[in-house]
Amino acid sequence: MQKLSLTGKAKHQTDDQMKGLSAVLVDGDDIFVDNGAIHAKSRLEVGIQFVKSLDEVPNARHIQGLWITLKRQENGLGFTGAMPFDLWIDAGQKIGYKKLSEQVNNMDKAVRGMVDLSKLEPSLRMSIGQYLQKIRPDLWENASADFRHAFALDEK
């Protein structure tokens, strides 16, 4: 089973609000955690020059990102916040586009525990939810009700 390298810690609470933040990326059929995205250094972003307009990316491939946060719940550490973000990459030309202000705002919302997946297709929400449930069932079991409900998976 894949080890989920989340940035959350089970002990030693600190003032660092970003400690429980992770990034899940969806590139075609591939869903994976890449915490490098927190600092704009995901494996998809490295070596990419970001431009000011999507029109400047001729063969843009859409990558869906999701900021995910962890927080201690009644039963232990669990998923709490989830907010989407978008990347468009042309790997051949080594250029890409992203709305940085939207990424930062959604990152902040996820850190504060907000969940809004309304911009995602239902099938994508379900796929990401199944992925999260599979790789870390303990975090899924301890997730907030809002988090679990947003992914439209059957509740236990």
Domain ranges of the chain: 19-150
pLDDT band at 13 (very low <50, low <70, confident <90, very high): very low
pLDDT single digits (tens) 98-149: 999 999 999 999 999 999 999 999 999 999 999 999 999 999 999 999 999 9
pLDDT band at 20 (very low <50, low <70, confident <90, very high): confident
Partners of residue 72 on adjacent β-strands = 77
Instruction: State yes or no: pLDDT of 60 exceeds 70.
Output: yes
If residue 30 lies in a helix (H) or strand (E), which one and from where to where?
strand 30-33
**Which three-class secondary structure string do you get for 101-134?**
HHHHHHHHHHHCCCECCCCCCHHHHHHHHHHHHH
Instruction: State yes or no: pLDDT of 29 exceeds 80.
Output: yes
Question: What is the value of pTM for the model shown?
Answer: 0.84
Which pLDDT does position 14 carry in this prediction?
39
Number of H helices, E strands in the chain: 4, 6
Query: For residue 37, which of 136, 119, 103 has the smallest C-alpha distance?
Result: 103
Instruction: State yes or no: pLDDT of 85 exceeds 70.
Output: yes
Instruction: State yes or no: pLDDT of 33 exceeds 90.
Output: yes
